[in-house]
Amino acid sequence: MIDKGYINKTAAQSILGRWEARLKLPGLMLLIFTFAFIRDLRLLPFLVLAAALTYSFSGLSLKHLIKRMRMPGFFLVAIALILPFWSGQTILWQLGPLALRLEGLLALLVITVKFFSILILVIALFGTTTLPQMAIALRAIRIPWLITDLLLFTYRYIYQLLSDLNRMRIAARLRGFRANSFNAIKPLAFITGTMLVSSHNQSERVFQAMTLRGYGNTKQPLPIFSPIPADFILLAVYILLSALLILFQFII
Amino acid sequence: MHLPDGIITAPAIIGGYAAAAGITAFSMYKIKKQHINPRNIIPRAALLTAAFFAASLIHIPIPPVSVHLVLSGLMGVMLGWFSFPAIIVGLLLQAVMFQHGGLTTLGINACIMGVPAILAYYIFYIRKKSGQKKPLTHALLAFGASFIAVVLGALMAALLIIFATPAYLDAAAERNAVIALSIAHLPVAIIEGVFTAIVVLFLLKVKPALLECDGQ
């Protein structure tokens, strides 16, 4: 995954790493959206297979994947608690008012497989693409400049601000501050306010320096687009795969 | 309030992206109207977006648990119409860097956080319309803006989970789930409201210009 602007060497030289970002982003995003549209249980093994194959093209290790596979979010846990017990009519098992229902269980299975398959694709996509490559790809698919400029600038400052925030929290702890009660809200709000003020002061200096270098006065062209035939073949493979899945889901 | 990939139906995903695209276009129109050269404001908006990104990792302790801040209200108060594109960027980076939220649900999540942020901006804007300059007015409006932003966001997320997931619940279960999710977010909304009010009072003393980021 993108980490402080770098991707590892093996990932950069892999099939996905060498794939032109302006074709890779639409190709893999198409597959990700196709996965999101799937409801047919019979297609789930193909989702897992396609995600696993794509990940094997990324040159990223299994250890990297496991590290990036965060615990399912709050909503997924909530759905796992609600769906099997409140959705559907076919009762599989009952204990008092609590009934395990087949339809809810199957819906949960579809959601879980889709969630993890998409996550694997996202990790493969962004583990082999740097943020500047991604911004170029986004601009190529006509995402407004305001979003891409904001994305690049924001990314530029995130690590610095996280480090500033950490330093301020350590300084507060050294002065005896302990965030263990609701009273901590006031010092935490002051820390946030301080960070916002110092960020703003810095942004003014950055903006002046950038203006001197010509930012905002010229329209910057995108780097030359020079794909090789293999880039188009990969795109065609992913379009075909997505089309087949959609065809099976909605027509057959 | 970040809906992950895989749980939302196709029409909701498409609808979410369409709504987010429409609101982004309207935000850009409003930004261009407010600022002569919108590029001038980007470095500042980006730094504030990054600051919000970092601040959202702060956990407020409510023993025995702790809650992390959403900050959509504070973003609306400080960034105005810029808050919607800033939220899209923040959500994209969270999905890419930390796998929080999702890519297919980016449009929906942007609406869940961004629409309340814009509403928060207009609630806080009342102080200018009414000509009130008292710190207490600022604090009350900041509290209200942030409180409403969290409750509205939670309500939108709850409704989406119930009506835009592939499985169907009976009407009573749906109603109970919406009520339960909204009530569960009330303490978070109060904490976020208090937090935003304190930050706004701090900025009012230290750097009031930061509360005029909308260019008005």
DSSP letters for chain B: --PPTTSS-HHHHHHHHHHHHHHHHHHHHHHHHH-SSGGGGHHHHHHHHHHHHHHTT-EEEETTEEEE---HHHHHHHHGGGHHHHHHHHHHHIIIII--S-STTHHHHHHHHHHHHHHHHHHHHHHHHHT---HHHHHHHHHHHHHHHHHHHHHHHHHHHHHSSSS-B-HHHHHHHHHHHHHHTHHHHHHHHHHHHHHHHHHHHH-GGGGGTT--
**Best mutation target, B42, B161, B192, to test chain A (most A CBs within 10 A):** B42
Which residue of chain A is at minimal alpha-carbon distance from B89? A151
Q: Which of A23-32, A172-181, A220-229 has the highest mean pLDDT?
A: A23-32
Which residue of chain A is at minimal alpha-carbon distance from B172? A86
Q: What percent of chain A has pLDDT over 70?
A: 91
Distance from CA of A106 to the nearest CA of B (A): 9
A188 touches chain B (CB under 8 A): yes
Name, in order, each residue with C-beta under 8 angstroms of B38's C-beta and a sequence gap of 6 or more. A146, B28, B31, B32
The 10 Å Cβ neighbour count of residue A173 is 11
| Count of A-B CB contacts under 8 Å | 242
Chain B neighbors of A183, CB-CB under 8 A = none
- The angle formed by the CA atoms of residues A156, A161 and A165, to the nearest 5 degrees, is 165
Q: Is the CB of residue B198 less than 8 Å from the CB of residue B137?
A: no
A61 touches chain B (CB under 8 A): no
CA distance B13 to B19: 10
The pLDDT of residue A85 is 82
Per-residue pLDDT of chain B in tens (216 residues, 90 and over written 9): 678 888 888 889 999 999 999 999 999 999 888 877 777 778 778 887 888 787 777 777 666 566 678 888 999 998 889 899 999 999 998 888 877 788 899 999 999 999 999 999 999 988 877 777 788 999 999 999 999 999 999 888 888 877 777 666 666 666 776 777 777 788 889 989 999 999 999 999 998 888 876 554
The pLDDT of residue B39 is 74
B98 touches chain A (CB under 8 A): yes
Average pLDDT over residues A67-83: 72
The pLDDT of residue B118 is 95
The pLDDT of residue B123 is 93
The pLDDT of residue B214 is 57
Whose tokens are 């301080």? That residue is A194
Name, in order, each residue with C-beta under 8 angstroms of A136's C-beta and a sequence gap of 6 or more. A21, A22, A222, A223
With cut-offs at 50, 70 and 90, classify the pLDDT of residue A242: very high
Q: What is the largest CA-CA distance in chain B?
A: 53
B167 touches chain A (CB under 8 A): yes
Taking 60 as the threshold, does the pLDDT of residue A1 lie above it? Answer: no
Q: Which of A223-227, A235-239, B135-139, B156-160 has the highest mean pLDDT?
A: A235-239
The pLDDT of residue A78 is 73
CA distance A84 to A72: 17
**CB proximity under 8 Å: B 102-131 to A:** 102-104
Residue B53's Cβ-count burial label (10 Å; 0-12, 13-18, 19+) is buried
CA torsion, points A36, A37, A41, A44, in degrees to nearest 10? -40
Record: contact A200-B210, CB cut-off 8 A = yes
The pLDDT of residue A239 is 96
B33 touches chain A (CB under 8 A): no
Distance from CA of B65 to the nearest CA of A (A): 10
Q: Which of B169, B177, B206 sits opposite A193 (nearest CB)?
A: B206
B164 touches chain A (CB under 8 A): no
pTM of the entire predicted model: 0.86
CA distances from B51 to A136, A165, B78, B200 (A): 24, 9, 12, 15
Name, in order, each residue with C-beta under 8 angstroms of A101's C-beta and a sequence gap of 6 or more. A84, A85, A86, A87, A88, A89, A90, A91, A92
Which residue of chain A is at minimal alpha-carbon distance from B96? A126
Q: Give A144-199 pLDDT, tens digit per residue.
A: 888 888 888 888 788 878 888 888 888 888 888 777 777 788 888 898 888 888 88
Name, in order, each residue with C-beta under 8 angstroms of B70's C-beta and a sequence gap of 6 or more. B1, B56, B113, B149, B150, B153, B188, B192
Q: Is the CB of residue A157 less than 8 Å from the CB of residue A151?
A: no
Fold designation for B10-212: Arp2/3 complex 21 kDa subunit ARPC3 (1.10.1760)
**Best mutation target, A87, A114, A154, to test chain B (most B CBs within 10 A):** A154
Record: contact A32-B166, CB cut-off 8 A = no
Which residue of chain A is at minimal alpha-carbon distance from B29? A146
Beta-bridge partners for A87: B169
